[in-house]
């Protein structure tokens, strides 16, 4: 098998898609996501949401390696400050879910996102997540031009 040097180019949808003001990431439910009740373990919905946030900013041109090892300026990373999540319906093994992410607030260092995990048109979980951009030493940093410019147009 002849694999290209950059596997990302072979999988166009791997980071999901931006449609209008939202980002949509497909998620397959695997063994690792479920628990003995037969349903997806509640904390794993937070993992799904985090994947959605990471791929949203990735499609905007920002990634975690780039933030942590910037060409100039201080290293930075996103840290979660607060989550509210309502679990409305369960998910099960083999299902394909979609994480739908939307920016609802863009502060100096803080970003608030509304996220839903859906199966088709059914909303399974609804979350509001606040993240902060901090420096390596933990100090809040102003969201850089790159991040701010990229996200600005998505804030309602």
Interface residues toward its own copies, by CB under 8 A: 1, 3-8, 10-15, 19-20, 22, 24, 26, 28, 30-32, 34-39, 41-44, 46-47, 50-51, 54-55, 58, 63-65, 68, 77, 79-87, 90, 92-94, 96-98, 100, 118-121, 138
Choice between 12 and 156, CB closer to its own copies: 12
Secondary structure of the chain in the HEC alphabet?
A: CCCCCCHHHHCCCCCCEEECCEEEEEEECCHHHECCCCEECHHHHHHHHHHHHHHHHHHCCCCHHHHHCCCCCCCEEEEEEEEEEEECCCCECCCEEEEEEEEEEECCCEEEEEEEEEECCEEEEEEEEEEEEEECCCCECCCCHHHHHHHHCCCC
Active-site option among 13, 33, 35, 63: 35
Least distance between its own copies and beta carbon 107 (Å): 16
Choice between 32 and 72, CB closer to its own copies: 32
- 35 is an active site residue: yes
Q: Active-site positions?
A: 35
């Amino acid at each position: 098998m002849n694999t290209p040097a950059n596997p990302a180019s072979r999988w166009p949808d791997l980071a999901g898609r931006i449609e209008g003001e939202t980002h949509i990431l497909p998620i397959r439910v695997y063994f690792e996501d479920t628990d003995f009740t037969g349903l997806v373990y509640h904390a794993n919905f937070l993992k799904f949401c985090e994947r959605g946030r990471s791929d949203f900013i990735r499609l905007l041109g920002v990634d975690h390696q780039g933030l942590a090892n910037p060409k100039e300026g201080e290293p930075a990373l996103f840290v979660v400050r607060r989550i509210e999540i309502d679990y409305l319906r369960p998910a099960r093994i083999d299902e394909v879910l979609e994480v739908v992410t939307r920016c609802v607030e863009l502060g100096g260092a803080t970003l608030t996102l509304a996220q839903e995990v859906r199966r088709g048109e059914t909303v399974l979980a609804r979350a509001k997540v606040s993240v902060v951009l901090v420096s390596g030493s933990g100090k809040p940093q102003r969201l850089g031009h790159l991040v701010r410019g990229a996200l600005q147009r998505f804030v309602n």
